[in-house]
Amino acid sequence: MIVLQEGEIPAIAQRGDYAIVAITKHGVEMARKLHGSFSHADLYYMSKFERGDEEARGIQLFEGSVRLLFPALFPAYKGLIIIISLGAVIRMIAPLLQDKKKDPGIVVIDDKGENVISVLSGHLGGANELTREVAAAMGARPIITTASDVQGTIAVDLFGRRFGWEWESADKLTPVSASVVNEERVAVVQESGESGWWLYDTPLPPNIRTYVAVSEALAAGPQAALVVTHRLLEPEEQAILDNGVLYRPKVITLGIGCNRGTSAEEIEAVITETLAELKFSVRSVKAVCTIDLKKDEEGLLAVVQKHGWAFVTYTPEQLNSVAIEDPSDTVYKFTGAYGVSEPAAKLHTGAEKLALVKKKSGNVTISVGVASFAQEGRAEANVLQR
């Protein structure tokens, strides 16, 4: 039993990613049914509606003002499904709001279960998607008011998110979103990254055109831009970001070989220097690849853990299956492979040619590959051909 008291944040037992909250007789009935459909959700309701099976079903009962429960739920869950009137919910959560990158998705259901309303963090917090899922489970009507969803256009703050794309800065998210939904001229410049970012069956809206280079987009004079590239933009290209968002797709693979005991600091310094020379963004790095003899190399492990990069190792036989430009008998003598960094980068990217074949610096050898994605599946009607 959770006893809610002023000035105290209650202890909860979080098990799932979402919380369902109800405070009325009808709400509890709906919540119990919904809980049966959402195995990844925890259920909370008032103790006066206790049925006797709560402990067995992992349901948590509370007594006191439900308002005092939300300070514990907000930081714990990805989303809250609340069967309470919309106005009451807004008043209760208002003091807890921070920003859309931190707040959980909030979904409200009316006491008859007719409407499921996306209230807060519709995109980044996932409330819009959660609203659709809950409404489908209940046979209710989903209510979503986000302009990009209603109009069937690009959601700027979610663009490429399912691929792991990251924006360089959030400063222009709001004005660029406004340009998209207000049907101003918007350029989508894609130089790298996955192609299947358009989620609708219809063509791109006529106000949005795609380009394969920043220079082409600048020549067209768009009012806003979404730029997808692993490159560092040149000074003459920066104007595209006056009202633009720069996205970093995860396309760069670093093939690395190093002497045993090489420090994380030396490895990271070589990576930073090499990417700067290539004019590539470190935010587009996806993986570090090497030979399986290095799977326990502390310096490498420290670097990939620091950045959250994938760490992939290959056997000598796998590395030797790849044609390389600079095979080494010396490397073969010690590892059983004719190369490490170059074939590792090629294996992971699937690329025949690398952005950097091989560079040795101190105790580190590095190769750099960029994954290529077929540009099929984009809204071809609005792609400008070179």
Q: CATH number, domain at 202? A: 3.40.1390.40
**Is residue 383 situated within a structural domain?**
no
Q: Residue 129 pLDDT more than 90?
A: no
Over the stretch 100-126, which tens digit does the pLDDT of each residue have? 778 999 999 999 999 999 998 766 667
Sign of CA dihedral 343, 348, 353, 359: negative
In order, the DSSP letters of 168-233 are S-STTHHHHHHHHHTT--EEEEESSS-STT--SSSPPPTTEEEESSHHHHHHH--SEEEEE-SBPP
Please tell me the distance from the alpha carbon of residue 369 to that of residue 255, in angstroms, as a whole number: 8
Q: Are residues 199 and 123 in the same domain?
A: no
Average pLDDT over residues 144-172: 81
Band of pLDDT at residue 254, cut at 50, 70 and 90: very high
| Residue 94 lies in domain | 2-145
Cα Dmax for the chain: 78
Q: Are residues 241 and 260 in the same domain?
A: no
Asked whether 289 and 313 are in contact (CB, 8 A), the reply is: yes
Write down the mean pLDDT value for the chain: 90
**Is residue 294 situated within a structural domain?**
yes
Over the stretch 1-15, which tens digit does the pLDDT of each residue have? 999 999 899 999 999
Please tell me the distance from the alpha carbon of residue 288 to that of residue 281, in angstroms, as a whole number: 15
Which of 186, 192, 156 lies closest to 174 in space, CA to CA?
156
Q: Are residues 179 and 139 in the same domain?
A: no
**Is residue 357 situated within a structural domain?**
yes
End-to-end Cα, the chain, rounded Å: 67
In order, the DSSP letters of 24-44 are SHHHHHHHHHHHHH-TTEEEE
Band of pLDDT at residue 376, cut at 50, 70 and 90: very low
Q: Are residues 16 and 112 in the same domain?
A: yes
Instruction: Check residue 149 and give its pLDDT.
Output: 66
In order, the DSSP letters of 254-284 are EEEEE-TT--HHHHHHHHHHHHHHHTB-GGG
Over the stretch 37-65, which tens digit does the pLDDT of each residue have? 887 899 999 999 999 999 999 999 999 99
Residue type, 133: E
Q: Are residues 134 and 23 in the same domain?
A: yes
Band of pLDDT at residue 380, cut at 50, 70 and 90: very low
Q: Are residues 272 and 290 in the same domain?
A: yes
Residues pairing with 359 in the sheet: 366
Instruction: Please state whether beta strands 166-167 and 208-211 pair in parallel, antiparallel, or not at all (unpaired).
Output: unpaired
Q: Which of 41-50, 85-94, 371-380 has the lowest mean pLDDT?
A: 371-380
Over the stretch 190-210, which tens digit does the pLDDT of each residue have? 999 998 888 777 889 999 999
**Is residue 386 situated within a structural domain?**
no
Q: CATH number, domain at 70? A: 3.40.50.11220
Q: Residue 287 pLDDT more than 70?
A: yes
Instruction: Check residue 382 and give its pLDDT.
Output: 31
Q: Are residues 229 and 241 in the same domain?
A: yes
Q: Give this prediction's pTM.
A: 0.70
Q: Residue 385 pLDDT more than 70?
A: no
Residue found under tokens 């004719």: 338
Over the stretch 297-334, which tens digit does the pLDDT of each residue have? 999 999 999 999 999 999 999 999 999 998 988 899 88
Instruction: Check residue 122 and give its pLDDT.
Output: 62
Average pLDDT over residues 235-255: 97
Residues pairing with 370 in the sheet: 252
Q: Residue 379 pLDDT more than 50?
A: no
Average pLDDT over residues 275-279: 98
Average pLDDT over residues 139-165: 81
**Region of residue 123 (phi > 0: left; psi between -120 and 50: alpha; otherwise: beta):** alpha
% of the chain beyond a pLDDT of 90? 75
**Is residue 115 situated within a structural domain?**
yes
Which of 132, 199, 188 lies closest to 163 in space, CA to CA?
199
Q: Are residues 304 and 344 in the same domain?
A: yes
Residue partners of 91: CB distance under 8 A and separation at least 6: none
**Count of domains observed in the chain:** 3
Query: Could you say which of 145, 171, 189 is where a domain stops?
Result: 145
Supply 172's token pair: 């222009």
Average pLDDT over residues 159-174: 89
DSSP-assigned letter for residue 195? S
Supply 327's token pair: 């095979």
Q: Are residues 323 and 220 in the same domain?
A: no
Residues pairing with 20 in the sheet: 43, 81
Q: Which of 147-161, 166-180, 256-270, 339-353 has the lowest mean pLDDT?
A: 147-161
Q: Residue 383 pLDDT more than 60?
A: no
Instruction: Check residue 377 and give its pLDDT.
Output: 35
Give the count of beta carbons closer than 10 Å to the beta carbon of residue 377: 12
Q: CATH number, domain at 293? A: 3.30.420.180
Instruction: Check residue 82 and give its pLDDT.
Output: 97
Q: Residue 132 pLDDT more than 90?
A: no
